[in-house]
A and B are shown apart, each in its own frame.
Chain A
Amino acid sequence: MRVLEADQVGVDFRTNTALGQVSLRLSAGEMVGLIGPNGAGKTTFLRALVGLQSPTRGKVIFQGGDIALANRKVIARAISYLPSGAPCHWPLSVRRVVALGRLPHLTSREGATAHDAAIIDQVMAQADVVAFADRQVTTLSSGERMRVMVARALAQSPKVLLADEPVATLDPYHQLRVMDLLARLAHGGSGVLAVMHDLSLAARFCDRLVLLVDGAIVAQGSPDQVLTPDRLREAYGVDVISGKAGSHVYALPDDPENAATA
């Protein structure tokens, strides 16, 4: 089932084209990795998908209509957005930050109910942040903090999760933990689109990869279809050593100097 669709979405910033005409369908139960070099338009695309960025061309289709016409609250009950860096401007407690994810579901009359509290408990357990529930989020390590932000996103009970570099700042252990969380959300029936730079990690956890270069999709498909040495050399300007270790596809960037002179 299609949960979100970009139909020929293009974004211009003044004279600069950030996105050409990008089309993408995200289905329920699917984990998609969005890869591509810096400045390819990945964040702009993600922001357009959640309605934060109005497209110059084309439209994003959400629940059968243009997302630009949808009510913010309705979007928030279905789509959760995890920005890169996951800022928190006040030293709120971990539990309070996770509880913010329930805001779209609160009615103006009543505050948080027992149902909300149960969901908060559940996602905190899933993200393994219960141990520091009462600590201030600003005192956590970046790995712990990202897990809190993922819990916050999960608390929205989203049908779609759009995550911008969710594991970029994390150590290998926490990278696996967070990716596993996102994959479990997808396999529980939501659509997940995550911007990734670690190609092996993307290959391991994503059902489908989308390669975005200069505001256009140049390849999409299963990890071993997309992560070919030729495509990656063209996209990133690096040689890539790729292969399989057991069932996992890996893709290791090689020295760009070598690639340039090759």
Chain B
Amino acid sequence: MAEPWKLLAFLGGGVVVLFWISMSVGPATIPMMQALQGAFADEPPVISTILVELRLPRAILGVLVGATLGLSGAALQGLFRNPLAEPGIIGVSASAALGSVIIFYFGLSGTFALALPLGGIAGALLAVLVLFALAGRDAGILTLILAGVAIASLAGALTSLALNLAPSPYAQSEIVTWLLGSLADRSLSDVWLAGPLMLGGWALLLISGRALDALSLGEDTAETLGFAMNRVRLQVIVGTALSVGAAVSVTGGIAFVGLVVPHLLRPLVGFEPRRLLVASALGGAALILVADIAVRLISEQTELKLGVLTAMVGAPFFLFLIYKTRSQGQ
């Protein structure tokens, strides 16, 4: 089986190249090698500071957030055995966004640097707790999806309420801008706070691979193939909450990556849920890097937000997927 390694090598190579391009794209033209060498000097020159303080976090977060969205999308689709599932479906993205919006609303985002990410993570964790209170440990997939839809609706409603009651037009526009989703102006401290949580979430998702393979044959068969489904469900949901909660809190809403990437890569890995996980993580990272490079190249004055671009491409794709699934009679 040489094929899967070729695909992973191709995607991995793509991420490395795109990372490099992402580092070299920006308003200032920077000689990359010179700036890299300068970064290790006692008094780094301005070009090195731009590279390390501005572009490096942006590129690293692009990889982390893209991989999180691709990986969690693939894992959720495996868990729900439905190609239309994505991180939004269990309400985690919406709740993480709500958590961050609440921080905006009460004007806490300026009080200390980490207030915003912490709010997002708290929202994601709260969503998981409510999900388990609603769906319970023995609930089937349908209950879980419905509970997720309910949580997402509630989080959306509360976000609208916060917007509605926002104290000033300035606060309102700050919230809306953040909700659009972007990697611009993030710092290395964002990477340090959100990165470990995302990595922890990835670990939980990756160890669920074999169970997701078994789930292809349904929950009963998966259980009789030796996988405790309650534990697998918990692993995937907590893994998603940790990684997506942390990702959303740093970047705002970036939609549809978790839907599009696994769908495109699935035929290339023989439709196997476990092999789709790492491929989707790399594919998600590559897609976010491409999109983030594109928004910087397309827009000159008002920067096109990353989340807007992914939604513009992703939403029609979602419609197409539903149409295709429906016409297959599934």
Contacts and interface: CB of A to CB of B under 8 A. Distances in A.
A96 B272 contact: yes
Interface in B215-233: 215-218, 220-221, 223-228
Given A90-B81, A103-B213, A76 B220 contact: no
Interface in A66-101: 72-73, 75-77, 79-81, 83, 86-93, 96-97, 100-101
Interface string B88-102: 000000000000000
B272 A92 contact: yes
A90 B225 CA distance: 17
B10 interface: no
B218 A52 contact: no
B271 A91 contact: yes
Given A79-B224, A104-B226, A87 B218 contact: yes
A90 B224 CA distance: 19
A224 B36 CA distance: 86
B214 interface: yes
A52 B210 contact: no
Contact of A100 (B216, B220, B223, B228): B216
B70 interface: no
B273 interface: yes
A147 interface: no
Contacts of A83: 218, 220-221
A52 to B, nearest CB: 6
A152 B266 CA distance: 22
Interface string A216-244: 00000000000000000000000000000
A125 interface: no
B270 interface: yes
Given A92-B270, A92-B271, A75 B224 contact: yes
B270 A72 contact: no
Nearest to A134: B270
A50 interface: yes
Given A89-B81, A91-B271, A96-B272, A103 B214 contact: yes
Given A87-B217, A103-B213, A80 B224 contact: yes
A203 to B, nearest CB: 28
A106 interface: yes
Contacts of A51: 224
Nearest to B221: A83
A47 interface: yes
A132 to B, nearest CB: 15
Contacts of B273: 90
Q: How large is the interface on B (under 10, 10 to 19, 20 to 34, 35 or more residues)?
A: 20 to 34
B220 A72 contact: no
B223 A88 contact: no
A181 to B, nearest CB: 18
Nearest to A152: B217
A240 B325 CA distance: 45
A33 to B, nearest CB: 20
Contacts of B220: 47, 52, 81, 83
Contacts of A75: 224, 226
B225 A104 contact: yes
Contacts of A92: 216, 270-272
Contacts of A80: 224
Interface in A7-31: none
Contacts of B224: 50-52, 75-76, 79-81
Contacts of B227: 72, 103
A55 B195 CA distance: 45
Contacts of A136: 271
A101 B224 CA distance: 10
A152 B218 CA distance: 13
A135 B223 CA distance: 26
Nearest to A85: B218
Nearest to A87: B218
A103 B270 contact: no
A97 B270 CA distance: 11
A138 B72 CA distance: 25
A52 B218 CA distance: 13
A106 B270 CA distance: 20
Contacts of B213: 100, 103
Contacts of A79: 224
Nearest to A43: B220
Nearest to B275: A96
B210 A106 contact: yes
A108 B213 CA distance: 14
Scoring A80, A87, A149 by chain B CB atoms within 10 A of each residue's CB, the highest score goes to A87
Contacts of A104: 225-226
19 contacts: A52-B220, A75-B224, A76-B224, A77-B226, A81-B224, A83-B221, A87-B218, A88-B216, A89-B81, A92-B271, A92-B272, A97-B216, A100-B213, A100-B217, A103-B213, A103-B227, A104-B225, A106-B210, A136-B271
Interface of A: 47, 50-52, 72-73, 75-77, 79-81, 83, 86-93, 96-97, 100-101, 103-104, 106, 136, 149, 152, 156
8 closest Cβ pairs, A-B complex: A76-B226, A89-B81, A81-B224, A104-B226, A73-B226, A90-B271, A87-B218, A103-B225
Given A97-B217, A136-B271, 8 more contacts: A76-B225, A80-B224, A89-B215, A89-B216, A92-B272, A96-B272, A103-B214, A103-B225
